[in-house]
Amino acid sequence: MGEAEIAKLRPMQERYARPDWVRRTCAMGESVGGGLEGARRIVPMDAEAMLETAERSLGGGPFGDFGEPGWRDHYRALVAAADALPLHVVGRLMTRQEILRSLRTRLAIGRAWAQEPAMAEEEIVRPVIVTGPARSGTTITFELLALDPDLRGPMAADALHPIPLDGASEADRLAASECEQELWADVQPEFAAIHELRSDLPVECVTLTTASFCGSHWPMVLGAVPMDPVATYAFEKRLLQLLQFLGPRPQPTWLLKTPGHIMMIDLTLATFPDAWIVQTHRDPAKTMPSTVSTTAMVQWLRTDRVDVAQQVRAIGAAFTAALNSVAVRRREGDLPNRFVDVHFQSLMRDPVETLRRAYGEMERPFTTEHGERIRQYLAEKPKGKFGVHRYTPEEWGFTRSELHASLAPYIDAFGIELEG
């Protein structure tokens, strides 16, 4: 990290102007007493009241615990932490909705799990897991792999509403997911150029595990809130078992994705020991600043107080350690030989051939039809369709030379193509 660049970081207020509807809605807090207390008056977050609301909305229990008797402790800790944060009115509303929806999800899957013990016997076999730093091609790789009918990426509706809503169609489930997907770009339109969220696209494990109440979604959107990775990964496996039990037969292979898996690689492989890891690669001078800008934007959706400098230091340290460590451990044979490398520049030059090679390494058949789907998908999704996310390392607290030096073990191990 460049300390001189960190000292010159511009606050988010100087980078983005809030849409009028967001600014005016947040001003409601000022109208009822001002500041954060006004926001709390308009959008209260009381753990016991929200739990009672969720239970009542589902017609009452018993709900079961979905294999984790202490999950309510995670829930209460999250609500307490979120309630204490300086969220504005829109931020509190988004957060309350996500927590309340996650409660309904947790209660519903707990009830289903208790009613169908066979769910726990489902085997998650050889999932394909995409991971790597943000902006290294994780999302487009995930979407292109999801075009394979023999792979199943969890859709937003699977993650947010895994138990079908009473009397609701699939279109209803998709529509009910929009408030946690498409809404983000409504709150800050520039977000769409950074990351496209759509209810009909496969979602990351970050979204899949919101109802654990201790997964990485919550610190990503809120900042300093408690996490429990072990409980989160166990929750994710059980949720995949539930979705698989309820899903089509024969069951396609699960396709999963999140950049954070690279920092939890041992826990990822302990949870899914026969997984194939598709590791995406790109020049760190492109990926590290983008990770900070994305996380800062995600938190800016909910608060005026985004500590960009803290994010630069935390994200820089975490990804540097993880990428260098995985590079060394793979070289020394300390990790299973179940990694496949996808380089961003190769993917951009020839996506079909790049993924064909990846399939060959995973000993999976790559069909002509899949290649055609990839070409058609990319033709209908031109780069920059929502604007271009332009940035320099210096704008987000880094320098190119320092990133290349600190990540030299990673760059050298994988022959990362530097982008000027």
Q: 354-373 pLDDT, tens per residue?
A: 999 999 999 999 999 999 99
Q: How many other C-beta atoms are found inside a 10 Å radius of the C-beta of residue 315?
A: 23
- pLDDT at res. 359: 98
47-57 and 89-115 helices, crossing angle to 10°: 50
pLDDT over 60 at 163, yes or no: yes
- At position 238, the amino acid (one-letter code) is R
| Average per-residue pLDDT for the chain | 93
Confidence band, pLDDT 50/70/90 cuts, at residue 384? low
In order of their start, the domains of the chain are: 3-414 (3.40.50.300)
Full-model pTM: 0.94
Q: Which amino acid is at 254?
A: W
Mean pLDDT, residues 146-170: 88
CA–CA separation, 90 and 43 (whole Å):
9
**Mean pLDDT score, 377-390:** 70
Predicted pLDDT at 389: 62
- Per-residue pLDDT tens over the stretch 185-203: 899 999 888 877 777 889 9
Q: How far is CA 45 from CA 42, 94, 228, in A?
A: 10, 11, 22
- Measured distance CA(59)–CA(108) in Å, rounded: 10
Nearest to 136 by CA among 278, 286, 276, 320: 286
How many Å apart are CA 112 and CA 115, to the nearest integer? 5
pLDDT at 385: 53
**Cα–Cα distance for residue pair 168/160, rounded to 1 Å:** 14
Whole-number Å distance between alpha carbons of 302 and 34: 17
Q: What is the pLDDT of residue 42?
A: 96
Q: How sure is the predictor about 285, in pLDDT bands with cuts at 50, 70 and 90?
A: very high
Tokens of 181: 């997907």
Residue identified by tokens 């895994």 is 162
Q: What are phi and psi of 273, to 5 degrees?
A: -65, -25
Considering the chain, what percentage of its residues have pLDDT values greater than 70? 97
When mean pLDDT is compared across 70-84, 196-210, 266-280, the lowest value belongs to 196-210
Q: Lay out the sheet containing 276-281: strands in order across.
A: 151-152, 253-257, 128-131, 276-281, 339-343
pLDDT tens profile 114-151: 999 999 999 999 999 999 998 899 999 999 999 999 99
* Three-state SS sequence of the chain: CCHHHHHCCCCHHHHCCCCHHHHHHHCHHHHCCCHHHHHHHHCCCCHHHHHHHHHHHCCCCCCCCCCCCCHHHHHHHHHHHHHHCCECHHHHHHHHHHHHHHHHHHHHHHHHHHHCHHHHHCCCCCCEEEECCCCCCHHHHHHHHCCCCCEECCEHHHHHCCCCCCCCCHHHHHHHHHHHCCHHHHHCCCHHHHCCCCCCCECCHHHHCHHHCCCCHHHHHHCCCCCCHHHHHHHHHHHHHHHHHHCCCCCCEEEEECHHHHHHHHHHHHHCCCCEEEEEECCHHHHHHHHHHHHHHHHHCCECCCCHHHHHHHHHHHHHHHHHHHHHHHHCCCCCCCEEEEEHHHHHHCHHHHHHHHHHHHCCCCCHHHHHHHHHHHHCCCCCECECCCCCCHHHCCCHHHHHHHCHHHHHHHCCCCCC
- Which residue has better confidence, 361 or 173? 361
